[in-house]
Amino acid sequence: MDSVTLRTASANDIDDVAGIFARSRAAALSFLPVLHSGTGDIAFFGRYLDSGLITVAERVGEKLGFMAETPGWIEQLYLEPNQRGQGVGKLLVDAAKQRQDRLQLWCFRDNLAGRAFYAWQGFTEIGHTDGDNEEGLPDILLGWDR
């Protein structure tokens, strides 16, 4: 995508990351309960700065989305609602695929658009739960290997 850059997030980005997370969930995953405050989300994403990597996608200073990853995992991938279907998510996933030989992630069963996106990216189902997560909702374990 022209003019979209990826960079490693810093502590200065965490408020924006938490905002993207909240807006994206509200727009695309309205079936999910809101379990934490904005302050709680900021603290949650701040921990990835120490334990993993947050990659921010931006265009001329405008943050479009982000991905949090740890070794072997895409932990979080959220886009501004108006960036869905624009190739930003693919850029972020492709960057993770360049860094890692194998990736796994959890996707809520009812996140049909997310499941279709990850299938398009070459992820396949390798497991599922009936809701043993914080939200108490069924999810699917997806995996990709180089």
Of residues 21 and 136, the one with the higher pLDDT is 21
Domain holding 128: CATH number?
Answer: 3.40.630.30
Strand extents, DSSP E, the chain: 5-8, 53-59, 62-70, 73-79, 102-108, 124-129, 139-145
pLDDT value at 81 more than 80: yes
Q: How far apart (Å, rounded) are the C-alpha atoms in residues 71 and 96?
A: 10
Task: Retrieve residue 99's tokens.
Answer: 């860094």
pLDDT (0 to 100) of residue 1: 59
Residues 67 and 96: beta-carbon distance below 8 Å? yes
pLDDT value at 97 more than 80: yes
Share of the chain above pLDDT 90, in %: 76
Count of domains for the chain: 1
Domain of 80, in residue numbers: 5-145
Per residue in 15-38, pLDDT (tens digit) is 999 999 999 999 988 887 787 888
